[in-house]
Structure 1
């Protein structure tokens, strides 16, 4: 999505949120192609994260609720002059929504890791999230996990045809050639993940699952640790009502091959999580966990691989980067290996 120019963004923030903006700095983080993020500094020195997005932002209601309940580590979104969590912005009919949250100063856990007390704080934070009553006002728009993998399984089974079309349209493209090699090596394993997702989606266990409020994407790129050891969970766009395993799969095994999570770190996490929820590691459902890993692995690999194929839509450097992440998901210690284990 094209970035909103800083002058217009400053104007919209001032008009809708009442902030006197001194400067706007685009931020090149986040994998959502529908959204742009900017760091906004006001005249009085306060810092905020401003997101313009063409997609829905139901997670703002979750962050707003948790912040209002005093859950430490959740930056609460600012409200507009009219009391809303987002404002319309951009050209009329453009469909962009603007949201503003306090900027969190800290280091990404993906870059720095966490100390034992910080793992426990993360456990307590997710525990507070998972014990939030689903009857709270404002949560009606949060989507529900429906354990229906039909769309992503169809995407996996159609990928070979997409690869043939890309090779035909761009026969000399190096990124397309690299995807072709990767698919020849790893395609059968990914199709096995798709088959397993379908099988597990029919499990009788789903009737016994009690869904909870989940962040949906609490990987270590969305976790920040500040200078005092405080843990902050950002980017609530994927908030969902789902089995608790939808969040805990990011802790038990993790999702990044280059940032695997040890048994000791899992123990530290549950030292914070179990006292809040009454749930221990042994209480997790292995089949539900496996299903959710399968779906996440399919989404990660296929979306990234399709980005790498899209020679007309993305810069070559971005396509190579997408292919690198897809290869990591497929490689040793990656999520595909976990999903099939």
Structure 2
């Protein structure tokens, strides 16, 4: 694969790269990411074209912390290879905020960064490319049914433990699914803005003097509650864990009136995505299945997002 990728990068971007190091981060099984010297290379079958379009627009508007994609030789923002989108970004050397946490000052800086994203009114052509909801949401009901069916005959001890977790939280799972389906059929109102849709700390890099928000594959045109739900609890260590951290974030973001119904929708949609998606992952033969099972337990636990969604 690396030789093929080198050829693509040379043909499409004019880049002659040496060593390619595959990077394994995040939950996106539809994307493969490599480091190629000073570049980050993504070959993705997920998300939408709106990701590179959005980052290019935000960077052109001077939004600090959003790196612009490297153009192709023909001036495009990505190329198409074997039915997937091949894109190149500058490689950002820094620590992942989910590993280190943020200081209070950094939380304030991050609030200001996300506010700048939300204030950057996208032009008509970008608005037309932005989906109104995360495309992942449409796959969740079928995935949930698939996970339930497989859990009836668990293949090993880890799957048996996952089946027990789902059984213990059956009422909670059903209630979140019902709420999500009900609210998704309503007009929830609100002013739609450019939203990252996945702005938790695993997608934040800490570089000297600047935070960077990365992985824009799920970008949408939606009310601010889509993004701000990540900073109101229920996210564990990938969101604020104290009142002081939450306050520091909103100090940077600025005053905002949040609609409780929209928050319930976006929280329930995310909770379904997380407990169904990570459960599906646990049912694979990946080496870190037990770790992901613990994530499912947290999502469905008393401090997790599923309970928050119903509050």
Q: Is the 8 A contact 1:66 1:74 kept in 2?
A: yes
The aligned counterpart of 2:13 is 17
Structural mapping, 1:103-252, within 5 Å: 103-145=91-133, 152-153=140-141, 155-156=143-144, 159-164=147-152, 166-167=153-154, 170=155, 173-201=156-184, 206=188, 208-228=189-209, 230-252=210-232
TM-superposed deviation, 1:61: 0.6
1:293-333 C-alpha deviation (Å, 9 max, x unpaired): 01100111011112222xxxx32424333322212211232
Deviation at 1:75, TM superposition (A): 0.8
Aligned counterpart in structure 1 of residue 80 of structure 2, from 64, 88, 108: 88
Q: What is the CA–CA distance in structure 2 between the aligned matches of 1:195 and 1:138, rounded to whole Å?
A: 32
TM-score normalised per structure 2: 0.91
The answer for the alignment partner of 1:327 in structure 2 is: 297
Cα RMSD after superposing both structures: 2.4
Unaligned runs of 5+ in 2: none
Compared with structure 1, are the counterparts of its residues 66 and 194 closer, same or farther at alpha carbon in structure 2 (3 Å cutoff)?
A: same
User: Compared with structure 1, are the counterparts of its residues 138 and 210 closer, same or farther at alpha carbon in structure 2 (3 Å cutoff)?
Assistant: closer
Q: Secondary structure at the match of 1:181?
A: helix
Q: Distance in 2 between matches of 1:308 and 1:147?
A: 22
Name the structure 2 match of 1:44: none
**Structure 1 unaligned blocks of 5 or more:** 42-46
State TM-score, norm by structure 1: 0.83
Q: Which moved more, 1:11-20 or 1:70-79?
A: 11-20
Distance in 2 between residues matched to 1:147 and 1:25, nearest whole Å: 29
Distance 1:195 1:132 in 2: 34
Alignment correspondent of 2:241: 261
CA positional deviation for 1:107: 1.0
Deviation at 1:150, TM superposition (A): 7.4
Q: How far apart are the structure 1 equivalents of 2:174 and 2:132?
A: 25
Bigger shift: residues 191-200 or 108-117 = 191-200
2:82 paired with 1:60: no
Q: 1:320 to 1:78 in 2, by over 3 A?
A: same
